[in-house]
A and B are shown apart, each in its own frame.
Chain A
Amino acid sequence: MAGARRAHDTARGGLLAEARFLASLWRAGLQTAMAFRVAFVTQIVGMALNNAMYLAFWVVLFQRFPTIGTWGLRDVMLLFGVVAAAFGIAVVLFGNILVLSDVITGGALDAWLTLPRPVLPSVLASRMTVSGIGDVATGLVCFVLAGQRSPEAALRFVVAVVASATIFLAFMVIVQSLAFWIGSAVLLRQTAFNAVLTFATYPLTLFDGTAKFFLLTIVPAGVMGTVSTDFVRRFTWPGLGQLLVAAVVLCAIAAALFRAGLRRYASGSIVLAAD
């Protein structure tokens, strides 16, 4: 027994261990999802069709009005594709992002606090939202339909999607971490969720001045959507820079806020609901 006991004393944290752990979480999530074949397929197809309806709206609109500002159908389609793929990847791999504030106020963090793993990634990755696969599929189809055919464009697409997914996740973590202080944050979460996704799927050029600033900072839908899509269309250093800075800054804020929230959680003074 002694051998077993001491064997893992040398292994402590580290990115590789964390990556292997997340991989096994995702494997378990996928296996669980596939245990229900019909539901698995229905959710994916359903979401893809759902997205198709919204694309249909754009198709109809552009039939009647060939351009809106400087944007044509292909531009909007690419935009939609980037946002859909980013959202899809985010909720497939980190599905608990959709209900993080509930996890916090429901005391479900305790189970993760008894394990030797960083809390936030573990909580987020322990659930897989299958319908997100439909969103990723939609994203890929849109990318193809938008006419970007080169391998460089595909690479830029991957970078853009990963950046946008990170921005979305970080934003939602920031909003939902407020639950550590204000208790149930369901309304806040729903509004933030609606806002960031709705705004992201419309071209940033529709907005001006303060609205534009708002969508590039407070609710980073403009970065998640238009800035990201512009990068897919054409590589620019400023474009890449904006994406990376946004992703890194938001992640830093999210991590710091969540950590502060955990400290408050550990002091036991989170808000309880009245009986």
Chain B
Amino acid sequence: MTAATRKYGSIFTAQLANGLTYPLDLLGRALSIVVFLWVFLHLWRSVYATDGSQAIAGLTLADTLWYLMLAETIVLSKPRISADIARSVRDGSVAYQLARPYNFVLYHFSVGLADAIVRAAMTALVGGALVWALVGPPPPASGWPLAAIAVLLGWLLDFSMSALIGLSAFVTEDTSAFDWIYSKAVLVLGGVLLPLDFLPEGLGSVARALPFAYTVWAPARVFVSPDPARFLALAGAQLAWLAVLALLLAAAWRWAIRRVAINGG
């Protein structure tokens, strides 16, 4: 077990260092979040003003902005797991990767996690500074560790779904259609543009029953209201979905290896 952690740990740290050598890329993402958050502030300020209430579904204007900050950070820092896996399948290099002493999928997870952390750090720093200047201080720091755990679980969940799409490259020519559908599903049902708590009853419960909500909405919600009960409920749901997807992913992977072994990659 420790040998494995050391293995993936070193892949992870290598990619961390790598991620820092592209400052322009990081800057680009940071600028994107500035644009989005600035517009969102004006939009939600107007919404709250028109509605006349201090809080909507339990969230104040400040809460909503901090929610959107983390939600956008998560979305803007996503690594391209499915694209990398699909490319590797399509150009046949997956066969070579199988000869390596580590698991192909976990390798991409480690690399992806490093990328996500570097980008998220930069984006959250810039986005957070902006939101702080606009609406005031963030939720209390005591809750941040809980939020961090939720973010991590959310990432793993997202990677699993993304990896499944990537592996579908074994059967389909072009995975970009599935990629697109997945990203739209996260956008609409994952709580990227507004907290799921704002959705009407029917749509809200549908969204909360699907895994997409637990990649973005769950961590952002925990960040804004880090009470232990909520955390346990949401993290619990994340773990449940993670278990389901891990099983699916493992099965898909076994099937994929067998396919490579038979067809030669």
Residues of A at the B interface (CB closer than 8 Å) are 42, 46, 49-50, 53, 56-57, 60-61, 63-65, 67-69, 186-187, 190-191, 194-195, 198-199, 202, 205-207, 211
Contact = CB atoms under 8 A, between A and B. Distances in A.
Interface centre among B31, B42, B177, B199 (most CB of A within 10 A): B42
Contacts of A211: 42
The range of chain B's interface size is 20 to 34
Interface string B40-70: 0011011101110000000000000000000
A67 B50 contact: yes
B236 interface: no
9 contacts: A42-B177, A49-B184, A53-B187, A61-B194, A65-B51, A186-B24, A194-B35, A199-B35, A206-B46
Nearest to A50: B184
B188 A53 contact: yes
Interface in B163-215: 177, 180, 184, 187-188, 193-194, 198-200, 203
Contact of B199 (A60, A69, A191, A202): A60
B46 to A, nearest CB: 5
Interface in B216-243: none
B28 A191 contact: yes
Nearest to B184: A53
B261 interface: no
Contact of B39 (A56, A69, A199): A199
B102 interface: no
Nearest to A42: B177
Contact of B43 (A60, A64, A206): A206
A202 B194 contact: no
A186 B200 CA distance: 40
A68 B50 contact: yes
B248 interface: no
A65 B47 CA distance: 7
A138 B165 CA distance: 28
A103 B198 CA distance: 45
A57 B194 contact: yes
Contacts of B255: none
A198 B35 CA distance: 8
A61 to B, nearest CB: 7
A237 B36 CA distance: 33
A191 B32 CA distance: 7
Contact of A195 (B35, B188, B193, B203): B35
Q: Is the contact region of chain A dominated by helix, strand, or loop, or is it mixed?
A: helix
A111 to B, nearest CB: 28
A56 B188 CA distance: 8
B4 interface: no
B194 A207 contact: no
Contacts of B45: 206
A50 B184 CA distance: 8
Nearest to B198: A64
A202 B32 CA distance: 16
Contacts of B47: 61, 65, 68
B42 A207 contact: yes
Interface centre among B27, B35, B51, B177 (most CB of A within 10 A): B35
Contacts of A205: 46
Contacts of B194: 57, 60-61
B200 A60 contact: yes
B58 to A, nearest CB: 14
Contacts of A195: 35
Contacts of B51: 65
Interface in B4-56: 24, 27-28, 31-32, 35-36, 39, 42-43, 45-47, 49-51
Contacts of A60: 194, 198-200, 203
Contacts of A194: 31-32, 35
Contacts of B188: 53, 56-57
Given A57-B188, A187-B28, A187-B31, 11 more contacts: A56-B188, A57-B194, A60-B194, A60-B203, A64-B199, A64-B200, A69-B50, A190-B28, A198-B35, A206-B43, A206-B45
Interface centre among A50, A60, A199, A211 (most CB of B within 10 A): A60
A164 B184 CA distance: 27
B150 to A, nearest CB: 23
Nearest to B204: A60
Nearest to A64: B198
A57 B50 contact: no
A68 B46 contact: yes
Contacts of A50: 180, 184
B254 to A, nearest CB: 32
A198 B39 contact: yes
Interface centre among B46, B180, B184 (most CB of A within 10 A): B46
A56 B39 CA distance: 18
A48 B35 CA distance: 24
A202 B46 CA distance: 12
